[in-house]
Amino acid sequence: MKKTIFFLLSYFLFHFAEAQTKWINLDASFQPLPFSFHVFKSIDSLDERPNVMYYAIADLKNKNLNFTADTTYKRRLTPEGFYKKNNNPLLVVNCSFFSFATNQNLNIVVKNGKLLSYNEETIPAKGKDTLTYFHSFFGALGISKKRNADVAWVYTDSSKRYPYATEQPVDFLRDSIKDIDLKYVKNKINYGRSSSSKFYKWKMQTAVGGGPVLLQNGEIKITNNEERKFAGKAIDNHEPRTAIGYTKDNKLVILVCEGRSKTAAGLTLTQLAQILKDLGCAEALNLDGGGSSCMLINGKETNTPSGDGQQRPVPSVFLIERK
């Protein structure tokens, strides 16, 4: 009996200790920094796999900081290229998924209240099924004029000024219609089987899209299947990641992790969600990862990009600027 109790106690103590990620403050390595902005690193292993990750945290209510985004048109720049293009901002990080063939974003980008990039709304079925199309609502994080953050599932229509959003996950639509419009989507969302959630104009000053959503209302809620992003078993793949979230006390958290190397295995989406929850995020979103994952602070790399260690050119980034 005593041996059993000792074993159980040791087991729980071990896993409790393993779950407590240790973070090292790196502010001194990235000076000068505003008083409300901090940088951290962890090299704690997860599930007995090597791990290297960084996160930055900034106060959304600090009016000396500007939270924005930037994108190109049918071309890509490295994060360093965006850093130079935007007059040396405090932070640069990759955000949306994109097409290597066209160099175009596949997710929403909003800058200064203007919708610059749209979601890839229609995806044809693969194989011989040429008459079926999938329409997904991808996750996005937005920041309003009043500096309040929100994570929602959004739909974009190039004929509309604003994206439309729902606060509840929406199952992807499957039909034989290649080109859908807002009226069709509203009908499906409000009256169809896919969801009964309210559908509204999402008026954000800044927004970046990705997917899937990782956290909602402080709880892990990974909508990879609804968004058709890393659906099924792909949720358990260990990869380099980029993610963004916010806390209840109006702090923005941006996290990157290394992967695909001997020194860093990368994170699963479930691990990523748990880490962001442990950091106090109320809601959080996965962004483009893999070789795209790269965060610069004052022009210096935090993580080492996967592959050859060189920064991958991307069509859009999230930025924090000094005013």
Residue 156 included in any domain: yes
Q: Over 70: is that where the pLDDT of 195 sits?
A: no
**6 in a structural domain:** no
Residue predicted with more confidence, 189 or 179 = 179
Is pLDDT at 138 greater than 60 in this prediction?
yes
Rounded Cα–Cα distance for residues 41 and 152 (Å): 28
17 belongs to a structural domain: no
Look up the pTM and report it.
Answer: 0.91
Q: What number is the average pLDDT over the span 128-142? A: 86
Asked if the structure places residue 102 within a domain, the reply is: yes
- Owning domain of residue 187: 22-322
Q: Calculate the average pLDDT of the chain.
A: 90
pLDDT tens-digit map of 246-263: 999 999 999 999 999 999
Residue 4 lies in a domain: no
Here the contacts of 264-267 (C-beta below 8 Å, separation 24 or greater) are 264/50, 264/51, 264/52, 264/240, 265/46, 265/49, 265/50, 265/51, 265/238, 266/237, 266/238, 266/239, 266/240, 266/241, 266/306, 267/46, 267/51, 267/53, 267/238, 267/239, 267/241
Q: How far is 11 from 33, CA to CA, in rounded Å?
A: 41
Confidence of residue 190 (pLDDT cuts 50, 70, 90): low
> For 281-290, what is the mean pLDDT?
98
The type of residue at 100 is F
> Has residue 15 been placed in a domain?
no
Residue 190 forms part of a structural domain: yes
Q: Structurally, how many domains does the chain consist of?
A: 1
Taking residue 297's Cβ as centre, other Cβ atoms within 10 Å add up to 24
Residues 6+ apart with CB under 8 A from 127: none
Q: Taking 90 as the threshold, does the pLDDT of residue 4 lie above it?
A: no
Percent of residues, the chain, with pLDDT higher than 70? 91
pLDDT above 50: residue 10: no
Residue 12 forms part of a structural domain: no
Report the pLDDT value the prediction gives residue 271, as an integer from 0 to 100: 97
Tokens of 151: 């994570």
Confidence (pLDDT) at 16: 38
Per-residue pLDDT at 128 exceeds 60:
yes
Model confidence at 5: pLDDT above 50: no
Compute the average pLDDT of residues 155-167. Answer: 89
Q: Which residues pair with 142 in a beta bridge?
A: 150, 207
pLDDT at position 11 over 60: no
